[in-house]
Amino acid sequence: MFDSIAPRYDLMNAVMTFGQHQSMRRSAARIAQPPRNGLALDLATGTGDFAIALQEVEPTCRVVGVDFAVEMMRLGQTKYNGQVQFTAGDMLKLPMPDNIFDCTVNGFVLRNVADVRTAFTEMYRVLKPGGRAVSLEITSPRTPIWKDIFGIYFDHMMPRIGGWLSGNPDAYRYLPQSVHDFLAPEAVVDLMRAVGFHDVYFRRWALGSMAIYVGIK
């Protein structure tokens, strides 16, 4: 599905977030704290925007982007002219050794994986001791008035706009359903703690429509 919408994926991210998706990634990248001359991992990297956000925070940090949506990564290679080392792989079974990365990041992917606990287990495995995992994800707002406004846009307007722009209506009908079916933020941080992360917390952004999850190995 993601390969099929790859040519319009970046445009749709901009439309859906009213142009705020890149600033969210940059803020999350700062929280990830990529170190000087370090090594970072962007999981489900897509076209590499989160990977580049890490390099903007720390230009000396080398970033590996892993995904099994190969067409997305091909677009990213062209877009960023080789700045990211793209690697084909499944974030539930990463093709990397233990204890190698200083930080891991991922954006808008947790609700798409088959097993969220396994995803966090793999992040924990490949991080160095003291390494930081940061995940950015859409969530349902709780503020009553904004919750209703967001629901009208996200559940009804956005799928129609996404289907029209991408040519794949099914992909954008799937998106709101995946958010509604996903775990509550409190359950996500419980999973992070269960696999070994400490100092775990989450923070709501964008009037509660985004959540960032942070944990340290």
- pLDDT per residue, tens digit, the chain (217 aa), is 665 655 556 556 655 655 566 778 899 999 999 999 999 999 999 899 999 999 999 999 999 999 998 888 898 888 888 889 999 999 999 999 999 999 999 998 999 899 999 999 999 999 999 999 999 998 877 777 776 666 666 666 666 766 666 666 666 666 767 777 889 999 999 999 999 999 999 999 877 788 999 999 9
Type of residue at 120: F
For the whole model, what pTM was predicted?
Answer: 0.83
Topology of domain 6-140+183-216 in CATH is: Rossmann fold (3.40.50)
Residue 209, pLDDT score: 81
- In sequence order, what are the beta bridge partners of 215? 133
Residue 137, pLDDT score: 92
Domain boundaries, the chain: 6-140+183-216
Residue 166, pLDDT score: 61
